[in-house]
Structure 1
Amino acid sequence: MISTPVLALCIGLAAGLRTITPLAAVSWVAWLGWLPLDHTWLAFFGHPWVAPVLTLFAIAELVGDKLPQTPSRRKPAVFAARIVSGALCGAALTAPYSAWSTGLMAGIVGAVIGTLAGHALRTRLAAGLGRDWPVALGEDAVAVIGATLIVWAAHTG
């Protein structure tokens, strides 16, 4: 069994790679009732319209990430969005255990690490391959599969 603060850190890492994907993953498990957030300040994750909307935004983000005009994840506004995503997701994974503040902090730390390490790794791999596209797709896969596995682990606890 993986501790919930570790899962919160991991979901933050995923938020550092893709901002919306972890939010969508958390909202699906909340909506399915696998993550009981009903009586918390994070209950909005479980509302019926949130998961589909966030999923559409996540898909748009996966497409938009490949466009040349997409700003760097290290730009202040983009970096801040990833931190907020990691914080919310981390707090949500730990809220059922009355540890949302610990999860929030772990999610922030994970998002900072994921943002900076993800950028460094993607830059190096893309330079080595001479192309960014395959590396970006690999990063997509890590974010989507990682977020899915993390929320599944939180559910099966």
Structure 2
Amino acid sequence: MVALSAVMLGVVAGLRSMLAPCVVSWAAWLGILNVDKSPVAFMGFHWTHIILSVLAAGELIADKLPFVPSRKAVGPFLVRIVSGALCGATIGAVHDGLVAYAALGAAGAIAGTLGGAAVRARLARAFRRDWPAALLEDCAGIAIAVFLVQAMRQG
């Protein structure tokens, strides 16, 4: 289940690059993920979850704007991979597998980036506009992230 959580948080990072680290930092700050004395201890610092919450909210708004570059462009794609790797590493720090889980998070981010773009494009065609598809993508990312944190919390 832990490995699957790392992959799925990577997928969320592929959908929204700041959403997954935001949720993981909240989990660390609330003590759901104990990352104290690990290389990713900063994920549990007081200001980390606040800063990432602001960035995630901004991304949810900015994503709907027409001038935002494609997530498949080099820069945004790399940000999503790093974001997924960070989330995986944070989970891995709790389970003594920081590097392996970082790789799983990065792989999930690649899948989420490419798969999310394809699904959103299909939904946008079905709706005949992008905005409803973008909102559905937001809801899916939030729901997956919240579910994963609840699963971590319970076991």
TM-score range, shorter chain: over 0.9
Q: How far apart are 1:116 and its partner, in Å?
A: 0.2
Equivalent residues of 1:12, 1:87 under 8 A apart: yes
Provide Cα deviations, 1:40-83, integer angstroms capped at 9, x if missing partner. 10000110011011101100000000000000000000000000
The separation in 2 between residues aligned to 1:56 and 1:142, in whole angstroms, is 19
Q: 1:50 aligns with which of 26, 48, 62?
A: 48
The separation in 1 between residues aligned to 2:97 and 2:150, in whole angstroms, is 19
Map 1:137-148; keep pairs closer than 5 Å. Answer: 137-148=135-146
The separation in 1 between residues aligned to 2:50 and 2:124, in whole angstroms, is 32
Counterpart in the other structure of 1:110: 108
Q: 2:129 aligns with which of 128, 131, 149?
A: 131
The separation in 1 between residues aligned to 2:87 and 2:94, in whole angstroms, is 12
Counterpart in the other structure of 2:96: 98
Counterpart in the other structure of 1:75: 73
Q: How far apart are 1:110 and its partner, in Å?
A: 0.4
Counterpart in the other structure of 2:14: 16
Moved more, 114-123 or 143-152: 143-152
**TM-score using structure 1 length:** 0.96
The separation in 2 between residues aligned to 1:155 and 1:84, in whole angstroms, is 24
The separation in 2 between residues aligned to 1:81 and 1:100, in whole angstroms, is 19
**TM-score using structure 2 length:** 0.97
The separation in 1 between residues aligned to 2:148 and 2:100, in whole angstroms, is 17
The separation in 2 between residues aligned to 1:124 and 1:10, in whole angstroms, is 21
Counterpart in the other structure of 2:39: 41
The separation in 2 between residues aligned to 1:64 and 1:152, in whole angstroms, is 27
Counterpart in the other structure of 1:150: 148
Counterpart in the other structure of 2:118: 120
Counterpart in the other structure of 2:2: 4
